[in-house]
Amino acid sequence: MIVCRTIPELRTAIRNGKAPLLANESTVGFVPTMGFLHEGHASLMRQSAEENGLSVLSIFVNPLQFGPNEDFERYPRNEERDLAIAEQNGIDIVFIPSVEVMYPTKPLTKVLVDQVTARLCGASRPGHFDGVGTVVSKLFHLVQPDRAYFGMKDAQQVAVIQQMTDDLNFPVSIIPCPIVREPDGLALSSRNVYLSAEQRSQAVVLSQSLKQAEKWVKETDITAAELVARVKAMIGEAQLADIDYVEWLQYPSLQATEPEAPINTASECYILALAVKFGSTRLIDNHLFGTFGG
């Protein structure tokens, strides 16, 4: 595994790594992350390693996607552990740039994606997806992958990146990967380390409410408004939970649905998306209803 910290190093490593692949028409897979890797990231890395001749991982805590009062400074970091996990999961090249390498001067160019960024995290974290679109564009140009792997834990991010890729004709396939969860259902996240024991035990309400919502949708003629109200009530029973949003939207367009119409998942795909704060830690989770990409 080659570790690159500068753009020339990365370009050389990719060129050299690709050369032997060209003969057998193999491909480059790419997994962008912010590090502090866990099994969710590892599942993306393994899928990339299985499907491509060369797998590239990036680890970069991107300041552009954090708001002024968010956790950029204290975002957890552990490079040594991350490199071991990358190596164990089939990564060939790791790109770990500093902020100065990625943004030697203040970037005056941004990649903004409209509409799909209007709600959910786009609404509660202004500017977040501008930072994501900008950094992922740069990384796509640097790595030039054939496939890029993104977790459905960040379902809005998948929709935004797919839209950006289509609009700007990036020659890459976006591969959405399933959410990896703890045994009790909590979606794995680098931010879970911030939780106190009590917050951690109450945080299970996110995945529990999604499971319960699945039952309500399957077993009753429930409306979107009623479903959202019930999910909010269920999460509200956890004393330490502070709801940021609970929304039922079409997926991947992330447009609103008719709130009073009974939910029908037969022909359309929908998302039930949650963001809930426990103290200063903001957790997200979601479940898709209907067929996505089918």
Please state, in angstroms and rounded to a whole number, the distance separating the CA atoms of residues 193 and 197: 10
Residue 94's beta-bridge partner residues? 3, 57
Contact (Cβ atoms closer than 8 angstroms) between residue 225 and residue 70: no
Nearer to ligand AMP, 190 or 263 (CB): 190
Judged by CB under 6 A, which of 95, 150, 170, 278 binds ligand AMP?
150
Contact (Cβ atoms closer than 8 angstroms) between residue 188 and residue 180: yes
Q: Examine residue 65 and tell whether it contacts ligand AMP (CB under 6 A).
A: no
User: Does 41 participate in catalysis according to the annotation?
Assistant: yes
Nearer to ligand AMP, 13 or 187 (CB): 187
Q: Catalytic one among 41, 128, 141, 287?
A: 41
The interface region with ligand AMP, picked from 49-57, 106-114, 145-153, 209-217 by CB under 6 A, is 145-153
Q: Examine residue 82 and tell whether it contacts ligand AMP (CB under 6 A).
A: no
The interface region with ligand AMP, picked from 32-40, 103-111, 211-219, 277-285 by CB under 6 A, is 32-40
Tell me how far, at minimum, the Cβ of 32 lies from ligand AMP, in Å.
Answer: 6
Judged by CB under 6 A, which of 154, 195, 202, 281 binds ligand AMP?
154
Q: Examine residue 180 and tell whether it contacts ligand AMP (CB under 6 A).
A: yes
Q: Read out DSSP for 154-208? A: GHHHHHHHHHHHHHHT-S-EEEEEPPPB-TTSPBP-GGGGG--HHHHHHTTHHHH
Q: Examine residue 40 and tell whether it contacts ligand AMP (CB under 6 A).
A: yes
Q: Examine residue 153 and tell whether it contacts ligand AMP (CB under 6 A).
A: yes
Q: Examine residue 187 and tell whether it contacts ligand AMP (CB under 6 A).
A: yes
Lookup: tokens for 206: 């996110």
Q: Examine residue 203 and tell whether it contacts ligand AMP (CB under 6 A).
A: no
Binding mask 41-60 for ligand AMP (x = CB under 6 A): x-xx----------------
Per CB under 6 A, residues contacting ligand AMP are: 33-34, 40-41, 43-44, 150-151, 153-154, 177, 179-180, 187-190
Residues carrying an active site annotation: 41
